[in-house]
Amino acid sequence: MAKLVKKFEEMTKKDIQKAGGKAANLGELTKAGFNVPPGFCVTSDALFYLIEKSGIQTRIDEIIAELDYEDFGGLDQKTSEIRGMIASVEIPGDLLKEISDAIKSLADPEPPFVAVRSSVAVKDSDISSFPGMMDTYHYLKTEEEIVAHIKMCWASLWTTRATMTRHHKNVDHHLGLIAPIVQKMVHSEIAGVLFMANPITSNRDEIVIESNWGLGESVVSGKSMNDFYLLSKSPLKLKEKRISKKTITISFDEEKGFGRKEMSVAPDKMDAVTLSDGQAEELGKIGLKIDALFGFPQDIEWAYEKGELYILQSRNIRTLKTGS
């Protein structure tokens, strides 16, 4: 069996077909020296290997042939059967050992909390992401939890929404690729998104930052009111900021001792500024360097923990108008 698990530093943006767009870009960022939390990718061949060894491909093909995209309830039921099969089969021992060894390699010296994310692509295509299609699982620690959520990532290739999206985009289901990422958690006090072009106006001379307390999931999901910062690129300068009344944050679920929890923002933080002007400009400077690395304006997820800036992922902004 070829190696199916790779650390970020072993991948580059050329590895999209094996690692999906998210993991390939994290590999590129890591090799370029950006402050990316360490982690690894269970490459896309791993799911094919799991399906081959378990013998469930024939039944999956039968279900695909039966899919009726006009019957949403039936579609949900049939895709649920595929998800259940993937989530319940046993991972082959050689693959499980690779995953286990990679999990152990993150200990420093104690096992850290990690996030498990889905990195996707389409075989023989330039499609390298399906924004908003897949979930992210936060604050997992034990090997059992991590492996279970890797299987959940694999199964999420067959959510009703993802299946319908492939159908509408005329993407053959057999060409869908998914490569789960396991990444050390950043216990962020502040997090958000950094757009290296204005996503509303498509102005490539502007930078937009949205930020909130806690994990960036509240910003990415659209659930929260966020602070807004607008910067010019040349010269790099803060042009405008709007401080929102922040009511919702997502953070570590202390009651359970794992996972994330949506909660109310403390009263003294509701109207407080999340980012200093200096931090907004620091984000802008880092963003310009990441743009140069990928050669296209980036949509970047970032987080601050104890004043230290981490880059969590980066991808091309999909909403820019041509020629803007």
Q: Is 289 helix (H, G, I), strand (E, B) or coil?
A: helix
> Which tens digit of pLDDT belongs to each residue from 284-317?
999 999 999 999 999 999 999 999 999 999 999 9
Residue 67's pLDDT is: 94
Residue 124's pLDDT is: 67
At residue 2 the predicted structure's pLDDT band, cuts being 50, 70 and 90, is confident
Name the domain count of the chain. Answer: 2
> Which tens digit of pLDDT belongs to each residue from 88-147?
999 999 999 999 999 999 998 999 999 999 998 888 666 545 555 567 899 999 999 999
Residues ≥6 apart with Cβ < 8 Å to 9: 27, 30, 31
Q: How far is CA 311 from CA 2, 14, 86, 134, 277, in A?
A: 30, 20, 31, 19, 19
In this structure, what CATH number is given to the domain that contains residue 207?
3.30.470.20
Residue 207 lies inside a defined structural domain of this protein: yes
Beta strands in 135-266, from DSSP E residues, in sequence order: 137-140, 176-184, 190-195, 206-213, 227-232, 237-242, 248-252, 260-264
| 239 and 274 inside one domain | yes
Residue 254's pLDDT is: 84
| 266 and 145 inside one domain | no
Residue 75 lies inside a defined structural domain of this protein: yes
Predicted TM-score (pTM) above 0.75 = yes
| 101 and 218 inside one domain | no
Residue 321 lies inside a defined structural domain of this protein: no
Peptide bond into 180 cis (omega under 30): no
Residue 324's pLDDT is: 47
Find out whether 265 and 273 touch, Cβ atoms under 8 Å. no
Q: How far is CA 158 from CA 31, 83, 90, 125, 131, in A?
A: 32, 6, 18, 19, 15
Is residue 9 predicted with pLDDT exceeding 90? Answer: yes
User: Percentage of residues in the chain with pLDDT exceeding 70?
Assistant: 95
| 243 and 122 inside one domain | no
CA distance 266 to 51: 47
Tell me the chain's radius of gyration from C-alpha atoms. 20
> Which tens digit of pLDDT belongs to each residue from 161-206?
989 988 988 888 988 899 999 999 999 999 999 999 999 999 999 9
Find out whether 206 and 233 touch, Cβ atoms under 8 Å. yes
> Which tens digit of pLDDT belongs to each residue from 236-246?
999 999 999 99
* Average pLDDT of every residue of the chain: 92
Q: Is 79 helix (H, G, I), strand (E, B) or coil?
A: helix
Residue 319's pLDDT is: 80
Residue 322 lies inside a defined structural domain of this protein: no
